[in-house]
Amino acid sequence: MGGVGRSMNAADATRARGTMSRRSKGIVDRLSVLLFASSWVAAFADVAPRLLADPLRITTLLAALPALVAGYLVADFLAGSVHWLADRFFDPATPILGPMLVAPFREHHVDSMSIGRHDFFEVSGNNALVSIPVVLALFALPPATAFGSVFLALFGLSLTSALVATNQFHGWAHAVDPPRLVRRLHRLGLILTPERHASHHTSAHDRAYCVTSGWLNPLLDRLHFFERLERAIEQSPPRRRRMT
Ligand SMILES: [Zn+2]
Ligand SMILES: [Zn+2]
């Protein structure tokens, strides 16, 4: 593995993940998902009636689809960026980020089927935790009386739900026998498909980082986006480098 990070073997991954007891992590993951789900539902319940108010119906219709698609695309980009950072920088022994972020991705490279052995709470807990403040920020939006407010509310709801679903989508892309609904979503190309994700594992884990829908992978890979960014970071003066 290139970049600033280093590769790890299965023993490293297990050791790094073991720094937080399985039981404690299970509790934190479940609490994070439950808090995220309840705040997401509350935010939706707060926004929905105003979105459907008479004077707004046209605005809502105009804003709905682009906002939902934009949120879904940005989730693909953010999740891809975090995946790239975890694969190429830091170390499984890095405090906090190591066991929470780096070790799971490195473990996944060593044993790609391991993601299917973790339940929804375990694979989605971290993303739920970081998405909670974003959902809470939606309550601070001004009343949805303008196109911008409507757009932002729908964008935020789409973004956060896609982020929380990302690792589950990633897991389903590796599943040998996914549920029928998932197979249909794969056929429609609406979530990460095994084909769209395969090149991440058949290469040196240096492309196809986006694992929500994977829609951005062809564009970002063609532009060598993460490769160029990585080179720019590595060539920057040490005092300005933020990751070592
Ligand atoms: Zn994978
Ligand atoms: Zn990876």
The reply to whether 43 falls in a domain is yes
Distance 61 CA to ligand 2 centre (A): 37
The predicted structure's pLDDT at residue 63: 77
Report the 10 Å Cβ neighbour count for 48. Answer: 13
| Domain count along the chain | 1
The reply to whether 3 falls in a domain is no
Q: Which ligand sits closest to the CA of 192?
A: 1
The predicted structure's pLDDT at residue 104: 87
- By residue range, what is the domain housing residue 109? 10-240
* pLDDT tens by residue, 127-138: 999 999 999 998
The reply to whether 56 falls in a domain is yes
The reply to whether 25 falls in a domain is yes
The predicted structure's pLDDT at residue 20: 58
The predicted structure's pLDDT at residue 162: 98
The alpha carbon of 26 is separated from its chain's Cα centroid by a whole number of angstroms, namely 19
Name the burial class of residue 222, with classes exposed (0-12), middle (13-18) and buried (19+) by CB atoms within 10 angstroms of its CB: exposed
**On the CB side of 236, how many CA atoms lie within 13 Å of its CA?**
13
The predicted structure's pLDDT at residue 98: 85
Residues 6+ apart with CB under 8 A from 84: 209, 226, 229, 230
Distance 45 CA to ligand 2 centre (A): 36
Distance 108 CA to ligand 1 centre (A): 7
Give the separation between CA 156 and CA 150, rounded to whole angstroms: 10
Considering the entire predicted model, what is its pTM?
0.84
CB 79 within 8 A of CB 163: yes
Give the separation between CA 241 and CA 244, rounded to whole angstroms: 7
The predicted structure's pLDDT at residue 61: 74
The reply to whether 2 falls in a domain is no
- Amino acid making up residue 237: P
Distance 79 CA to ligand 1 centre (A): 13
The predicted structure's pLDDT at residue 66: 92
> Helices (DSSP H) in 56-146: which residue ranges?
57-88, 97, 103-110, 120-138
The reply to whether 5 falls in a domain is no
Residues 6+ apart with CB under 8 A from 107: 8, 10, 13, 14, 17, 114
- Amino acid making up residue 128: A
Q: Which of 180, 18, 192 has the alpha carbon at shortest distance from 92?
A: 18
Residues of the chain with pLDDT under 70: 1-20, 53-56, 143-147, 238-244
Q: Which ligand sits closest to the CA of 211?
A: 1
The reply to whether 214 falls in a domain is yes
Report the 10 Å Cβ neighbour count for 204. Answer: 12
Q: Which ligand sits closest to the CA of 214?
A: 1
Distance 83 CA to ligand 2 centre (A): 6
The alpha carbon of 199 is separated from its chain's Cα centroid by a whole number of angstroms, namely 18
Cα separation values, 129 from 63, 98, 107, 198, 222, Å = 28, 16, 21, 28, 32
